[in-house]
Structure 1
């Protein structure tokens, strides 16, 4: 199947849709990496981390106890963001979790760290709020029309 021939000038501005809580949590579960943001000893910081969503809808991650992340975020408010972007079609979504980050008493089994070294300090973001947005394609756009034509001829 060939890729649709979509030119930048064919793409029309999309619509912004607000996501509900259950959809936000489903999207959070669908991605392995997000970004945690906090204000700490070096000012504002944002770092990518791999994570898991706990059964009780909290974000859990593992780090080394000597990291800036570990020193700065324990018992503090943080933001956690996950997104997915399709730049070619100007579509995507973003979910933002705000909450308190606490140290876990025991090293969580998940997520498995992606980097080497001792990552035995578990951190847990207890969500206070979760919100999300999705950029949807414009209805009737040239890009949508091209996709429909392509789907018809490849079926």
Structure 2
């Protein structure tokens, strides 16, 4: 029997995993209550960057807002996976717009780039016990 594990991931590895992802979940308390929505994103330096459309619920994030951002990868076949949780505050993205050319996946005009300046990172890696 191979033992399972549940271990924490250090900040450097969390950033590396964030950099490999393309879809994450952003959570915040909106004008309509608690929201958790998927977004396509990229990592630029130490900031998570995604685009939003004005007049949408995600458009609220164009104003400074405290958020949580979560990315994971789970393999149900091998019962292994990892999860990274970041926290920070949204701010307008002032970096190179070329970094955003693959965003967003959703059709429409999402032309407001938002950066989440990270203030907290935590990650976990898990594996079930196996034969």
TM-score in terms of structure 1 length: 0.76
Q: Deviating runs (4+, > 6 A) in structure 1? A: none
Larger relative CO (CA 8 A, sep 6+): 1 or 2? Answer: 2
Structure 1 runs not aligned, ≥5 long = 1-9, 143-155
Q: 1:43 aligns with which of 30, 33, 50?
A: 33
Q: Quick one: distance in 1 between partners of 2:82 and 2:95? A: 33
Q: Is 2:27 the partner of 1:27?
A: no
Q: Quick one: distance in 1 between partners of 2:3 and 2:63? A: 41
More strand by share: 2
Q: 1:81 aligns with which of 42, 63, 70?
A: 70
Structure 2 runs not aligned, ≥5 long = none
Query: 1:49 deviation in Å?
Result: 0.3
In structure 2, the CA distance between the partners of 1:87 and 1:134, relative to structure 1 (3 Å rule), is same
Alignment of 1:1-155 (within 5 A): 14-55=4-45, 57-72=46-61, 74-105=63-94, 108-109=97-98, 110=100, 111-138=102-129, 141-142=130-131
TM-score in terms of structure 2 length: 0.88
Equivalent residue, structure 2, for 1:149: none
The Cα RMSD (Å) is 2.1
Larger-Rg structure: 1
In structure 2, the CA distance between the partners of 1:106 and 1:54, relative to structure 1 (3 Å rule), is closer
Number of residues of Structure 1 aligned to a counterpart in Structure 2: 129
